[in-house]
Structure 1
Amino acid sequence: MIFVPEAYSDAWLELPLAYVARVAEVLGAERWWDDPFDPRDATILLGHGRALVWDEESGWRRGTFLSGHKGVRTELAGAVYLGGGVLPEPERVADLLAGGGTERPVYRSYRDIGDGFDQELVRYAGGLVGSR
């Protein structure tokens, strides 16, 4: 059985971190952070003023970094949604960077607690949920 932390606990809020860290690693990005929740989201700086933002409803989008830092939602100019679902495999995100569209997809709602999404995030955490 997969342990999923209680919704809105610190461990639950941190569930996306291992996934985002893996995407950042695949892309060779050194700087990334998690942003506020509802929805849970995170930012990866790509360099040359570009950034990727992930959220648990729409997946990944890229654009020109305007502002943001840990705890403050990132603002992008010219956001392009990459597609590929809310949680594409980290190795696939690099391929998705070349495509996308401006219409925001909604794959799920952050209110969909218990829909299996958190179990997918636990997979990236390697069973280390709630520990550091």
Structure 2
Amino acid sequence: MNYHDAHRPYIGAVVNALTTAGIGVDDWFADPDDPRDACIFLATAATETHYPGEAIVLSWNEEDGWLIGGGQPNEPLNWVADIYTRDVLPTPQQVVTAARAALIAAPSTLYGLAPLFREFEDDTDGFEERLAAYHVHPNV
């Protein structure tokens, strides 16, 4: 798998873990541009209790890890918050646990920079090898 798509299987594994845990997902994408990133659009049924009227997303990038954000549907996000996974590449189950906590009690909004776990140009930190663990088939 090429460098720019290497995160797609990991994001897919997180989506599968979310849906298996009963947290609905409406859509998702994995963006190949540097730094690589992804966005998971959570289903309204999973978010409406604590975020009524808002579209809620889980956002990931290879430098900052996982964030949650919300705003009006089809509009830019009004707020973004860290979901405290403490790693740029937590296991899918760790993302589910952190997302569930963020869906129950709104995390503090980030007013500055998100935590920086790594620089996307860092090719000696073992990140690519950790991503490769999610490549279950060479054509994924």
Taking structure 2 as the reference length, the TM-score comes to 0.72
Q: Does 1:104 align with 2:114?
A: yes
Partner Cα separation in structure 2 for residue 67 and residue 109 of structure 1: 31
Does the aligned pair in 1 maintain the 2:26–2:43 contact within 8 Å? no
Does the aligned pair in 2 maintain the 1:51–1:65 contact within 8 Å? no
Q: Flag structure 2 segments of 5+ consecutive residues without an equivalent.
A: 20-24, 45-54
- Aligned-residue sequence identity (percent) comes to 30
- The number of equivalent residue pairs is 116
Change (3 A) 1:66 1:106: farther
Q: Does 1:59 align with 2:65?
A: yes
How does 1:19-58 map onto structure 2 within 5 Å?
19-28=10-19, 29-48=25-44, 49-58=55-64
What whole-Å deviation, never above 9, does each CA across 1:109-130 have from its counterpart, x for those lacking one? Answer: 001023210000000112x34x
Secondary structure at 2:78 match in 1: strand
Partner Cα separation in structure 2 for residue 23 and residue 33 of structure 1: 12
Partner Cα separation in structure 2 for residue 106 and residue 88 of structure 1: 14
4+ runs deviating over 4 angstroms: 65-68
Among candidates 95, 103, 108, match of residue 93 of structure 1:
95
Q: Flag structure 1 segments of 5+ consecutive residues without an equivalent.
A: 6-10, 69-73
Does the aligned pair in 2 maintain the 1:59–1:83 contact within 8 Å? no
Taking structure 1 as the reference length, the TM-score comes to 0.76
Bigger-Rg structure (1/2): 2
